Amino acid sequence: MSHPQQFLNPDLQIPDLRAEVISLLQQIPTGSISTFGSLARALGDIKAAKWIGTLLKHDPDRDFWPWHRIVMQNLQLPLTSGVVSSSQQELLHAEGVTIQSGRIDPITPIFDEFHSNKPLHKLQIQQRDISERILLTSEFKATKSVAGIDIAYPQPGIARAAYVEWNLVNSCFDYELAIETPIIFPYITGYLTYRELPAYMVLLKAVQAERNLAEILLVDGSGILHPRKCGIACHLGVLLNHPTIGVSKKILTGKVDLTNQESNEIPILDAQNKAMGIAMRKTKHNKLVYASPGHQFSLQKIPDLLNLCWFDHRLPEPIYLADKLSKQYK
């Protein structure tokens, strides 16, 4: 098993978010409390609040840090399987914080002056920077090969990344490869790149050791259909300088035009009513999938390309096969 870090492009700097949270927690004085939201804002994005919740609840080493000083915005204690954790109550009580029926006494000081280098804010800046380097034009006239890539998690902390190449000339499977690698960065909405891109880099290096990459990569995730127009397909495409398209089963951002329900190809509009992606299905009986350009590929050409390799499943065949291969470990 190779470590992802050694292959990383310097354009992809990945912070240790867990260590950042621990250092923020240690800034909260004894006898004070803070909230999931203010900790998340100190990391640089309120969207990290949910992950902080799972970290403080499940990290095996949490008793080495003051996890108990974090409560909900309404001063209620978070629930553990439906009940307030008695250990959190005891730990707070030992620090002089009083609790009545699961709620912190309102006179308790609330700490919100975190010193932080806002790692998620820095990642947003990276994303905006990458976003400006995206090309939305297609070079190919007749594409001969397309590959799907996807990741599964055989156990926590381990990613299994799969590559399946599809031959568009003979309309058949051509080649497959899967690798496993450790994964550290958590899943936080809008930052999937920082969780999964290192594993994809290991995978694609391994493919390149044997053959050229397929002309176009279908990535399980978003392209420009992203709050900063920089989904994982964009980031991968720009770092590799290779054409990519993002294909996801759920929509991350944007609006599907609901007056178009009969169509199998519905544009997805951003807040400025600009088409950033397309909701598609093979037939009316299928659920929609959401596609958007990653790099070096135009939105207009996406339907024709996907239809060339889309058969009996909800997803286009290369990405369906990559999904299946990534899960073949039991």
Partner DNA sequence: GCGACAG
Partner DNA sequence: ATCTTGTCGC
Residue numbers of the site for DNA (CB under 7 A)?
47, 150-154, 187, 189-193, 220-222, 226-227, 231-233, 246, 248-253, 327
Helix (H, G, I), strand (E, B) or coil at 83: strand
In this complex, which beta carbon is closest to DNA, that of residue 198 or of residue 221? 221
* Minimum distance from residue 185 beta carbon to DNA (Å): 10
Q: In angstroms, give the least distance from the CB of 235 to DNA.
A: 8
As measured in angstroms, the least distance from the Cβ of 180 to DNA is 12
Angle between helices 17-25 and 36-43 (to 10 degrees): 130
Whose CA is closest to 58, among 31, 20, 85, 32? 85
* Ordered alpha helix ranges (H), the chain: 17-25, 36-43, 49-58, 86-94, 119-131, 192-208, 232-240, 302-308, 317-326
Which of 68, 160 has the CB closer to DNA? 160
Total Cβ atoms within 10 A of residue 257: 13
Among 85, 110, 162, 122, smallest CA distance to 320 is for 162
Nearer to DNA, 114 or 153 (CB): 153
CB 329 → DNA: shortest distance, Å? Answer: 9
What contacts 307, CB < 8 A, 6 or more positions away?
none
Minimum CB distance to DNA smaller for 69 or for 160: 160
What's the CA gap between 293 and 297, in Å, rounded?
Answer: 6
* Least CB distance to DNA at residue 121 (A): 15
Residue with smaller CB distance to DNA, 33 or 183: 183
Distance of CA 279 to the CA centre of its chain: 19
DSSP state letters, 242-296: --EEEEESS--SSEE-GGGTT-SEEEEE-TTS-EEEEEE-SSTTSPPEEEEEEES
Please say which residue, 89 or 282, places its beta carbon nearer to DNA.
282
Query: Which of 86/155 has CB closer to DNA?
Result: 155
Q: Minimum Å distance from CB 101 to DNA?
A: 19
- Convert 288-327 into a string of H (helix), E (strand) and C (coil): CEEEEEEECCCHHHHHHHHHHCCCCCCCCHHHHHHHHHHC
For residue 62, the minimal CB distance to DNA (Å) is 19
